[in-house]
Each structure stands twice: as C-alpha cells, then as structure tokens.
Amino acid sequence: MLWNGREDGAKTVRRMNITLRQLKVFEAVARHASYTRAAEELHLTQPAVSIQVKSLEEVLGLALFEQFGKQIYLTTAGEEILRYSRGIAAQIDEIGDVVARLKGVSRGSLHLAVATTANYFITHLLAAFHREFPEVAINLSVTNRQALLKQLAENRIDMVVMGEPPAEQGLAGTAFMENPLVVIAAPGHPLSSRRRIPLKTIAKEPFVVREEGSGTRAAMTRFARRHQIAITPAMVMTSNEAIKQAVSAGLGLGLVSAHTLELDLYAERLQILDVAHFPITREWYVVNREGKRLSPAAQAFKQFLIDNADTVWPTATKAAGAITGASG
C-alpha cells in the first residue's frame, strides 16, 4: 500500500495521485501509438491528451513513451504500466457489471465487436434486442478477424461475433446461425447458365478475394487445400462491398457470405453460381474469453442471439437452404 509521506519503519513511501482519466488517456495513446488518434477517440484536443500523459509521467517519475521520428513507442516502463492500466479498467468495468446485476438486465452496457461480414445482419439483431431491452447502452465496432482476436485478448470488449474461433487462445464460442459462403459472378458471365460447375473449372477463373487475416480468406484457403485446387487471387480487397462491386464490374469471380447478397440479388447486380461442393458451410459464433464474467446485459444478448437469430434474420437462412438445394 502507498502512503503519503508516512513513516513505515525505515522507509517513506509516497502515495501516487494517479487519476482514472490519466490512465484512460494513456491507454488510448498506447493502443493507437498516436496522440492525434487518441484525441479523436476521446473527443479531446491533442494538447489535452499530451498534458494528461505528461502529468502521469511526472507522478510516476518514469518516461512512458519514446519518440523516433514521427512514431511513438512504449518504453519498458510504459509496457508495464499499460498492463496495470488495463487491469484497473477491467476492474472498473466489473463494478459497473455488479451494479447492473443488482439493478437487473434492464440497464447496463454491451460492448460488442463483429467481423465485417456480420455487419450485414447484426444491426437487425441489435434492433430487435434494443426493443426488448431499451435501456441497455450498446457499443458496436466492426473490424476484421485479427483485430477481433486482439480486442478479446486485451479484454476491451464483452464478446465478438465471428466465424469459428481458434481453439488455442482461451476463448469460449457458441454457434448461433449458419454462414454459407458462395461463389458470385456478374450477370451474363459465361458460367452463369451452367449447373454443377466443376472445381477445376472455377480454379481457372480470376478471383477477387478478401485480405489475409479475414475469416472468408481463411475459409477459402482451407477449402482449396482440402479439394487440392489452386485459387489464384487476381485482386485483393478489404471489404465485401468492394468485392461485390468488382465482381459486378466483371473483374472476376468472388467468394462471399450469402448474408451479404440480399440487395444485390434483388437488384440483379450479381448472381450465385452453381458450383460443385458449394456452398462452403460455416457458422457464426458469439465468442468471449473463457472465464470472463459477463454482465447481465452481455449475458442477455448472448442468449438472445442463440434463441432468436434465425427468427429475426430469416432471409439468410432461407437463402442458405435454397443454395444448398440447388447445389446438392
């Protein structure tokens, strides 16, 4: 325990007047490796952020960052303080969870992150959840698979919605909805009228694909390896919308989740090809850290997904059945 100028035997230990605000600002700067981006996230000016970090360094008597050129890096001391800072933030969150638990599920907050493909349906599910629990504050971020896993590892969110989680990272995942991956083409593509297109034929076509680190790209790689075919990416894009636009323009075939296609199929901008061994059957998972104590709001949302996903978002389920029937 740290005492303010009080004698303790032969030692005098000073209480460190560290504020939660200082720790919050420091964590944001460390996470972004940027004062500017931290200021944007926290809705502060850059000088205000710099002052908070400088004040924390003065209290600690340690430099937390060092700068090389325009880039800032954590010092060894900074890395250690960051670990404690995140632990304190997690404990503060737990206090909020306890209060919410005492008040019941009707209040509280939900910090959720989802894979980019899940963004096509998650807002519909959140809207239905919000109608049932209108006073739960919802915070949503949308990013790729690698970033989701990082947020879980840093305990910055309650849970994520993603494809099957890696087994070795101490994560608990529950499947709640099918996620079929299909091959798409522009209307009028030479393969559009064919049925049961062989994989060797598909492998000769140029593909517009997602970036390394995305769940869709990983599924495509595993599928190609399992069926011993080589799919050569002709173009790499970082979003499903970019892939769909490129495919619609005739730049190649694409592999996307059926959940992303409702409006495109209705407008006849794209079509699903009937390819042997497709769709690739996957599932959506709601994932949290093993052993994490979920708040009542987070527990309620997790159960809501498991119980209601197919009911609230039936279009994808019907599409999955139709595609499977056509290619089966």
User: Could you read off the pLDDT of 46-97 as tens digits, one per residue?
Assistant: 888 999 999 999 999 999 999 888 899 999 999 999 988 888 887 777 776 6
Q: Are residues 166 and 296 in the same domain?
A: yes
Residue 95 included in any domain: no
* CA distances (Å), origin 99, targets 129, 159, 271, 304: 21, 19, 50, 21
Tally of domains in the chain: 3
Mean pLDDT of 210-215: 85
Counting beta carbons within 10 angstroms of the beta carbon of residue 182, is it exposed (0 to 12), middle (13 to 18) or buried (19 or more)? buried
Helix and strand totals (H; E) in the chain: 12, 14
Is 236 in contact with 213 (CB distance < 8 Å)?
Answer: no
Handedness of CA 187, 189, 190, 191 (dihedral sign): negative
Q: SS3 of 240, please?
A: helix
Domain boundary among 272, 292, 311: 272
Residue 14 confidence (pLDDT): 52
d(CA 136, CA 296): 10
Domain boundary among 272, 301, 316: 272
**Does residue 137 surpass a pLDDT of 60?**
yes
**Chain length of the chain:** 328
**Does residue 232 surpass a pLDDT of 90?**
no
Residue 265 included in any domain: yes
Confidence label for 8 from pLDDT (cuts 50, 70 and 90): very low
Q: Are residues 230 and 161 in the same domain?
A: no
Residue 186 included in any domain: yes
Q: Are residues 147 and 74 in the same domain?
A: no
Strand boundaries in the chain, DSSP class E: 6-8, 11-13, 65-68, 71-74, 109-115, 137-143, 159-162, 171-178, 181-185, 207-210, 233-237, 253-257, 271-272, 283-289
Q: What 8-state DSSP symbol labels residue 260?
A: G
Which residues constitute the domain of residue 66?
A: 12-84
Higher local confidence (pLDDT), 230 or 319: 230
Looking at residue 128, which CATH number applies to its domain? 3.40.190.10
Mean pLDDT of 122-137: 90
Domain boundary among 272, 300, 317: 272
Residue 101 confidence (pLDDT): 58
Residue 67 included in any domain: yes
Looking at residue 58, which CATH number applies to its domain? 1.10.10.10
